[in-house]
Structure 1
Amino acid sequence: MRFTAVITKEGKWYIAHCVELGVVSQGRTIEEAQANLKEAVELYIESFGREDLPESSCEVILYPFEVAI
């Protein structure tokens, strides 16, 4: 199955978030955060089963923007 991940950096940690499932993990490097998120998603699927998984057919668009304050 294919999912979408968003990774942000907070302090010394990279936080990885699976958009479709709401699963979150972290790591000290991007690669570690990716590996930890993959493991967390696999455990999520094992725990809740494949029947309740959302369709991963959405398109995710990320873009930077500025707001005047």
Structure 2
Amino acid sequence: MLLTAVLLPATEGGLTAFNPETGTTTQGATVEETLANLRETTTLYLEELPLVASERPLLTTFEVEVRG
């Protein structure tokens, strides 16, 4: 099953990862470690709450104006 991973720098160092299809999150020191942790977390989640097959999500970006 191919899923999406969104990785962001963590304020305390390392990375935070989020899988939008399941809502699982985790962290790690490197990209490789973070993805491995997300894979494990998501696998455990899917053992309890399987996903119904669906089309791939649309991942895009957008801008907002920050007033200040």
Normalising by structure 1, report the TM-score: 0.76
Cα offset, 1:3, TM superposition:
1.0
* Partner in structure 2 of residue 3 of structure 1: 3
1:63 aligned to 56, 61, 64, which one? 61
Compared CA separation, residues 60 and 67, structure 1 to 2 (3 A):
same
Q: Percent identity of the aligned residues?
A: 32
RMSD: 1.9
* Partner in structure 2 of residue 25 of structure 1: 26
Residue segments in structure 2 that go unaligned for 5+ positions in a row? none
Count of paired positions: 66
Letter in 2 for 1:31: E
Cα offset, 1:64, TM superposition:
5.6
Partner-residue secondary structure (3-state), 1:57: coil
Cα offset, 1:56, TM superposition:
4.1
Residue segments in structure 1 that go unaligned for 5+ positions in a row? none
Compared CA separation, residues 56 and 37, structure 1 to 2 (3 A):
farther
Normalising by structure 2, report the TM-score: 0.77
Runs of 4+ in structure 1 deviating by more than 4 angstroms, as ranges, are none
Moved more, 57-66 or 33-42: 57-66
